[in-house]
């Protein structure tokens, strides 16, 4: 497993997280994961797929909860995978648990144009 479990999704750190959230010009999906989390890998693939197919309105990033526990604590991430959904710099949704691409799109539909 690489620094991000979905190679097309950039990893965020404590140093880059706030700026990335604040400057995102589209819906930002932050996939909070860990290497030991079995369901996290397929969830990362689903997030990457949605971001690629909706690149005009969605950006994705990932946070390794073990490497960046401060971010996980700040957003009360108690279970992995957790997807934090930001719009205009604000947390607008939190999706806890793995889901495939289809269900992910359904869950994100209220936030997509």
Q: What is the pLDDT of residues 55-92, one digit of tens each?
A: 999 999 999 999 999 999 999 999 999 999 999 999 99
Give the domains, in start order, of the chain with CATH numbers.
Answer: 17-111 (3.40.30.10)
Residue positions counted in the chain: 113
- State the pLDDT at residue 4: 53
Res. 1: pLDDT tops 50: no
Neighbours of 16 (CB within 10 A): 14
Catalytic residues, which ones? 37, 40
- State the pLDDT at residue 2: 41
pLDDT level of residue 8 (50, 70, 90 thresholds)? confident
Q: For tokens 């950006």, what's the residue? A: 59
Strands of the chain, DSSP E: 27-33, 58-64, 82-87, 90-96
């Amino acid at each position: 497993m690489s620094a991000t479990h979905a190679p097309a999704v950039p990893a965020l750190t404590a140093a880059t997280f706030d700026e990335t959230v604040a400057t995102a010009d589209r819906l930002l999906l932050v996939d909070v994961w860990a290497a030991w989390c079995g369901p996290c890998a397929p969830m990362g693939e689903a997030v990457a797929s949605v971001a690629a197919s909706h690149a005009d309105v969605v950006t994705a990033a990932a946070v390794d909860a073990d490497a960046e526990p401060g971010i996980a604590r700040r957003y009360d991430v108690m279970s992995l995978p957790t997807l934090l959904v930001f719009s205009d710099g604000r947390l607008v949704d939190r999706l806890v648990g793995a889901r495939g691409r289809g269900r992910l799109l359904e869950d994100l539909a209220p936030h997509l144009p």
